[in-house]
Chains A and B, each alone.
Chain A
Amino acid sequence: MLEGFQLMLANSWIVPVGVVIGILVGAMPGLTSSGTLSLLLPILLVLPSEIALMLGVCIYAGAEMGNSFPSVMLNIPGTPGGAVTCLDGYPMMLKGEAARALGICIMASTIGGLVGSIAAIALTPNIAKIALHFGPVEICIVVLFGLTTIARLSSDGMARGLLAGFFGLLLATTGTDPTYGQQRGTFNIVYLFDQLPVVAALIGLLGFSEVLMHAEKHVARLVESVDVHAAGPMAWRGIRQGFRDVLHKPSEWIRASLIGLGIGAMPGAGASVATFVAYQQSHAFASPERKQEFGKGAHEGLIAADASNNAVVGGALVPLLTLGIPGSGSMAVLLVVMSYHGLAAGPTLFTFNADTAYAILWSLFFASGFVLAIGTILAWFAWRIAMVNLSYMVPVISVFCLLGAFTRNGYVFDMGVMLAFGVLGYIMKKYRYPVVAMLLGIVLGPLFEENFMRSWRMGFGEFDVFWESQTALYLWGLFALTLVGPSLVRCSRRVYARITGR
Chain B
Amino acid sequence: MPALAITYASYAWWEQRDGLYRADTLLYMRVLMVPVVVLVMAVVVQSLYTAWRATREGGAEPGGNNTDTTESRHYFRPALLICSTGILVYTINWLGYLISFTLFILVMLIGMGVRSIPRIVIITAGTVLMLHVVFIEILDQPLPRVLLSVLMKLS
Contact = CB atoms under 8 A, between A and B. Distances in A.
B38 to A, nearest CB: 9
B93 A42 contact: no
Closest 10 pairs (CB-CB, A-B): A395-B108, A391-B112, A163-B39, A159-B42, A215-B77, A167-B5, A395-B105, A212-B78, A185-B12, A415-B89
Contact of B82 (A184, A212, A220): A212
Interface residues of A, number: 62
Interface residues of B, number: 66
Given A42-B135, A46-B139, A394-B108, A423 B113 contact: no
Interface in A87-112: none
A377 B120 CA distance: 32
| Interface hub of A166, A211, A456 (most chain B Cβ within 10 A) | A166
A396 B105 contact: yes
A396 B102 CA distance: 11
B32 A169 contact: yes
B43 A179 contact: no
Tell me what chain A mostly uses at the interface: helix, strand, loop, or mixed: helix
B131 interface: yes
Interface in B98-155: 101, 104-105, 108-109, 112-114, 119, 123, 127, 131, 134-135, 139, 141-144
B31 A452 contact: yes
B96 to A, nearest CB: 11
A455 to B, nearest CB: 11
29 contacts: A42-B135, A42-B141, A160-B43, A163-B2, A163-B40, A164-B1, A166-B35, A167-B8, A170-B5, A170-B12, A170-B32, A170-B33, A177-B25, A180-B21, A184-B21, A184-B29, A216-B74, A220-B113, A392-B112, A395-B123, A396-B123, A398-B81, A399-B131, A402-B85, A402-B89, A403-B135, A410-B141, A412-B92, A428-B1
Interface in A361-388: none
Of B15, B36, B80, B85, the most chain A CB neighbours within 10 A belong to B85
B92 A415 contact: yes
Contact of B127 (A164, A216, A391, A395): A395
Interface of B: 1-2, 4-5, 8-9, 11-12, 15-16, 19, 21-22, 24-25, 27-29, 31-33, 35-36, 39-40, 42-43, 46, 64-66, 71-75, 77-78, 80-82, 85-86, 88-89, 92-93, 101, 104-105, 108-109, 112-114, 119, 123, 127, 131, 134-135, 139, 141-144
Given A395-B104, A402-B85, A184 B1 contact: no
A224 to B, nearest CB: 13
Given A218-B72, A395-B127, A407-B135, A419 B85 contact: yes
